[in-house]
Amino acid sequence: MTQPIIKLEHISKSYGHGDGAVTVLQDLSLSIQQGEFTCIWGASGSGKSTLLNLMGLLDRPEQGRITIKNEAVLGLNDNRLADFRSRHLGFIFQSFNLVPVLSAQENTMLPLQIRGEADNTARRKARDLLAELGLERHLHKRPDEMSGGQRQRVAIARALIGDPDIVLADEPTANLDSANSDAIILLMQKLNQKRKVTFLFATHDTHLLSYAARSIQVRDGRIVDDRHNTYLREAS
């Protein structure tokens, strides 16, 4: 069997100190294979977002080991960790997290500009990717001039612009209506199949489980169910 692209071993995470400490994840172990389209689901407060943040190197556990692309990432200093995250991970957020004064194209370009890529190259890549996602007529619109579904497509483009190995999406449909929610998950599924990028998304919406090839349920900081779905709804 091939090495997993993400491996968590005996991870524990808590917030606060002393009597006020709250344990969010408890001795959790998990492996994700390259190219998976995986849903991490559970109720609010279950620990799913914390788990996603740890896999995205946005937080560190108190105990345990995290390996991504065969790299023991918790041993990296902050600068090397930031560089690793920039080159291998993409992020999609619940509230889009777009810069209000920038256009769709400019928002999409940001990760490449931070890396120091030439402006004309970044602009061309952003234009082509937004066109692929059906936003060729919205390149110069600011976030407040677009619908929620369009803004989330820009956020997906920004997550993909740097050619990451892994995309992590925290409640990517929470601010969308049901039709746009389905459309966004189907788009992510299509991109997963086309680009062979590993996608992990966290949700509390059980309706979305049928789109994921694998679903992992988190409750009280532990994995209570982990299954591969035989029949799933697919993008055409």
Q: How far apart are the first and last CA of the chain?
A: 30
Full set of structural domains in the chain with CATH: 6-13+24-98+163-228 (3.40.50.300)
Partners of 124 in the beta sheet?
Answer: none
* pLDDT over 60 at 61, yes or no: yes
The whole-model pTM stands at 0.93
Percent helix / strand / coil, the chain, rounded to 5: 40, 25, 35
137-185 residue pLDDT tens:
999 999 999 999 999 999 999 999 999 999 999 999 998 999 999 999 9
Average pLDDT over residues 188-204: 96
